[in-house]
A and B are shown apart, each in its own frame.
Chain A
Amino acid sequence: MMKFRTLKYHIRQGISGLFKNRLMSLAAVITVMACVFILIISLCVVENIGYILDQLETKIGISVFIGDNISDKDVSFIEQKLKEVSHVSDVKYISKDDALEWGRKNFNGKEFLAGLEEDNPLPRSFDLFIDSSENQRVVIDAIEKIQRDFEEDSVSKKVEENFKNSIIQQKKDENSENADLNIEQIDDSSKDADGVTLEEHKKAAISAIGGEGYEYAGIYKISAPQSAADSLAAIKNTVRIISIILIIVMGIISTSIIINTIKLTVLIRKNEINIMKYVGATDWFIRGPFIVEGLFIGIIGAIIPCIISWFSYDEIINIINQDVSIVKRLFEFSPGSELFAFIIPISLIFGGGLGALGSITSVRKHLKV
């Protein structure tokens, strides 16, 4: 455990080292500044691409079309189910009128849609927005489940209804007076005239769902722009990989520059290190001041570009928004405060780590006395 006074000694020596080799320190600080600047710029670009992609992604929805023959109650039941699907961020109901309105706006051809108010052929639908394009498949699976459950339910009801009717009919044929009395007693095991149970009727009907010629009553179509979602996910991945590579490359380049800069300051103090070794200084004691010096160089070198870029970020975004007005309509840039809340710590850690690493590497050679 390092003694507090030793730490104090290291800090004092490190700071005095900074000032003793003023020119060298300045060169090192400028080097770090350049590196951190490039790092910040690349992080800004990468983050904004990600941010914009996220916005585009939420604009890619899934459309769920509803059959005309189901009741409003069923529609709100489906809406409720859709809202419960995980990864769905928003569900928007589009009524027949809404659809017509949208069509008018977008096709501009009033003749083409004229006279449809009375008998609107456009279906009701839901627009679903999902949190991330990567989850599109999962959401579609969930919607398909809702679709199937609804169909099974409504098919069963319809079969039961028909079954009842046929039994009533049968009873009427046999004995018209008692016809109504037995309806209550019908259950899954009841048999019709041919000896087929209600349950078997239901099973047969359910197995026909989705088969050839089957018409969906509830959700009859799920439409999702799969290729757009896929390419967005791919772009996001690429951006992520590029940013990681960028950070690594920047790290390597700047560390080597720092190492060379600090090597010079170490060289100047070669004698000092040598003497320290002879009077019995441990390796960490010798490294201490150099690490402090490196940390200071790194952190000062990181703070300056952080401040400059933080203050100029919003200005630059404003200029882009004004000069390229189309940009503003398509998407927003990442807000500076949010962006820099993570860029600043990264830069400080990057700069400080760079400085300390550079110092340790530079001193290493001279410790072998």
Chain B
Amino acid sequence: MISLQNVTKIYDNGSQALKNVSLDIEKGEFVFVVGSSGSGKSTLIKLLLKEVEPTSGNILINDENIAQISRKEIPYLRRKIGVVFQDFRLLPSKTVYENIAFAMQVVEATPREIRRTVPAVISMVGLSKKAKAYPNQLSGGEQQRVALARAIINKPPVLLADEPTGNLDPETAWEIMSLLKDINMRGTTVVVATHAKEIVDAMQKRVIALKKGVILRDVREGGYNDEI
């Protein structure tokens, strides 16, 4: 599903974010990418979204080398990858419903498809009662649910989450994690970059630990800092 082959990323300012990283993520996997800030987690996410280009190495998504796709094709790559961020990134002027429907309008879905799909996804993330609320009327956890709903509305095969619980209290964080797990159970490959130790430890999923741009550890079912 996702494959990195000897990927190195050196930013223009000379900082080396990833050093010769190789990894494979299979379809339907749930993967934590852990590490302190500056370990290269975010760079990894950005590389997968083709927000930044690798300095060297290949990145394959669905057997397609994304280094070779043109700027024009990036939107179509991103339609296959849902993404959520620590800061939710919702549009403050749009309601919950509109924020989610927006992602479908962008891919030029028909109004009928939108009317049919959006309420289902809203109820899946448990926000049916708040469909008409605006982001500033929601708690952090609720906002992240909206972001999650938006990320999966177009049924991408891959969901990337960059510190999805970073701004949330532990209880809410758990709710989001269980949602991510639900999404994974439905067949979506989920990659979560995080440093939420308790969650990683408790979930016992595959953990890829990064440190200063190098893979420190890659365990099938592990905790956050088995060796860190």
Listed in ascending order, the chain A residues whose CB lies under 8 Å from chain B are: 3, 5-6, 9, 20, 271-272, 274-283, 285, 369
Asked if B108 and A279 make an inter-chain contact with CB atoms under 8 angstroms apart, the answer reads no
Known: A272-B91, A369-B51. A278 touches B83 (CB 8 A): yes
Contact between chains at A279 and B51 (CB < 8 Å): no
Contact B111 A5 (CB under 8 A): yes
- Which residues from A are CB-within-8-Å of B51? 369
11 contacts between A and B (CB under 8 A): A5-B108, A6-B108, A272-B91, A275-B91, A277-B75, A279-B79, A279-B154, A280-B75, A280-B154, A281-B107, A283-B75
Which residues on the B side are within 8 Å of A282 (C-beta)? 72, 75
Contact A285–B106 (Cβ < 8 Å): yes
Contacts of A279 in B (CB 8 A): 78-79, 102-103, 106-107, 150, 154
Nearest CB to that of A282 among chain B residues? B75
User: Which of A5, A9, A276, A281 has most B Cβ within 10 Å?
Assistant: A281
Q: Which B102-139 residues have C-beta < 8 A from chain A?
A: 102-103, 105-108, 110-111
- B79 near A271 with CB under 8 A, answer no
* B93 touches A (CB below 8 Å): yes
Are B91 and A280 in contact, with the CB atoms below 8 A? no
Asked if residues B91 and A281 are in contact (CB atoms below 8 Å), the reply is: no
Chain B residues at the A interface, C-beta cutoff of 8 Å: 49, 51, 72, 75-79, 83, 89-91, 93, 102-103, 105-108, 110-111, 150, 154
Contact A278 B107 (CB under 8 A): no
Q: How long is the Cα–Cα vector from A369 to B77 in the complex, in angstroms?
A: 13
- Which 7 pairs from chain A and chain B are nearest by CB? A280-B79, A280-B78, A281-B106, A279-B103, A280-B75, A282-B75, A279-B106
Q: Quick check: A271 and B75 within 8 Å, CB to CB?
A: no
Residues of A within 8 A of B77 (CB): 280
Whole-angstrom CA separation of A5 from B76 in the bound complex:
19
How far apart are the CA atoms of A272 and B150 in the complex, in Å?
A: 14
CA of A20 to CA of B154, assembled, Å: 28
Q: Do the beta carbons of A280 and B108 come within 8 Å of each other?
A: no
Q: Which residues of A contact B72 (CB under 8 A)?
A: 282-283
- Residues from chain B with a CB closer than 8 A to the CB of A20 are 93
Specify the chain B residue showing the minimal Cβ separation from A8: B111
* Known contacts A5-B111, A369-B51, A280 near B93 by CB under 8 Å: no
Which residues from chain B contact A272 at a C-beta distance below 8 Å?
91
Contacts of B76 in A (CB 8 A): 280
Provide the bound-state CA to CA distance between A281 and B106, in Å: 5
Instruction: Name the A residues within 8 Å of B108 (CB-CB).
Output: 3, 5-6, 285
Which one of B90, B106, B110, B111 contacts A280 once the chains associate, using CB atoms below 8 Å? B106
Having A275-B90, A276-B106, one finds 20 other A-B pairs with CB under 8 Å, namely: A5-B110, A6-B108, A20-B93, A271-B91, A274-B89, A275-B91, A275-B102, A279-B78, A279-B79, A279-B102, A279-B103, A279-B150, A280-B75, A280-B77, A280-B78, A281-B75, A283-B72, A285-B75, A285-B106, A285-B108
Shortest Cβ distance from B93 into chain A, in angstroms?
Answer: 7
- Separation of A278 and B108 alpha carbons in the complex (Å): 15
Contact B89 A277 (CB under 8 A): no
Q: Which residues of A contact B49 (CB under 8 A)?
A: 278
A5 and B49 CA atoms in complex are apart in Å by 28
Closest to B73 in A: A282
Interface hub of A20, A271, A276, A282 (most chain B Cβ within 10 A):
A282
Complex: A282 Cα to B49 Cα, angstroms = 14
Of all chain B residues, the one with the shortest Cβ separation from A16 is: B93
* Set of chain A residues within 8 Å of B93, measured between Cβ atoms: 20
A5 to B112, CA, bound (A): 12
Of all chain B residues, which has the CB nearest A281?
B106
Establish whether residues A275 and B89, one from each chain, have CB atoms under 8 Å apart when the complex forms: yes
Contact B89 A271 (CB under 8 A): yes
Q: How far is the CB of B74 from chain A (nearest CB, A)?
A: 8
Residues in chain A near residue B75, CB distance under 8 A: 277, 280-283, 285
**Which residues does chain B contribute within 8 Å of A276, judged by CB atoms?**
102, 106
Q: Which of B51, B105, B110, B154 has the most CB of A within 10 A?
A: B105
Task: Give the CA-CA distance A63 to B91 in the complex, in Å.
Answer: 79
In angstroms, Cα B76 to Cα A134, docked, is 60
- Determine the distance from Cα of A5 to Cα of B105 in the docked complex, in whole angstroms: 9
> Nearest chain-A residue to B93 (Cβ)?
A20
A279 to B89, CA, bound (A): 11
Q: CA–CA, A285 to B72, complex, Å?
A: 12
Query: Are B78 and A277 within 8 A (Cβ)?
Result: yes
The answer to whether A278 and B105 touch (CB under 8 A), given A5-B110, A272-B91, is: no
Distance of A14 from chain B, by nearest CB (Å): 14
Give Cα A361 to B199, complex, Å.
Answer: 46
Task: Using known A-B contacts A272-B91, A278-B89, A279-B150, determine if residue A9 contacts B107 with beta carbons closer than 8 Å.
Answer: no
Q: How far is the CB of A216 from chain B (nearest CB, A)?
A: 77
A137 CB to nearest B CB, Å: 57
Give A282 to B76 CA distance when docked, in angstroms: 8
Contacts of A369 in B (CB 8 A): 51
Inter-chain contacts of B91 with A (CB < 8 A): 271-272, 275
The interface centre, meaning the residue of B49, B51, B102, B108 with most chain A CB atoms within 10 A of its CB, is: B108
Q: Which residues of A contact B107 (CB under 8 A)?
A: 279-281
In the assembled complex, the Cα of A272 lies from the Cα of B108 at a distance in Å of 17
Residues of B within 8 A of A3 (CB): 108
In the complex, the chain A residue whose C-beta lies closest to that of B84 is A278
Bound-complex Cα distance A9 to B104 (A) = 12
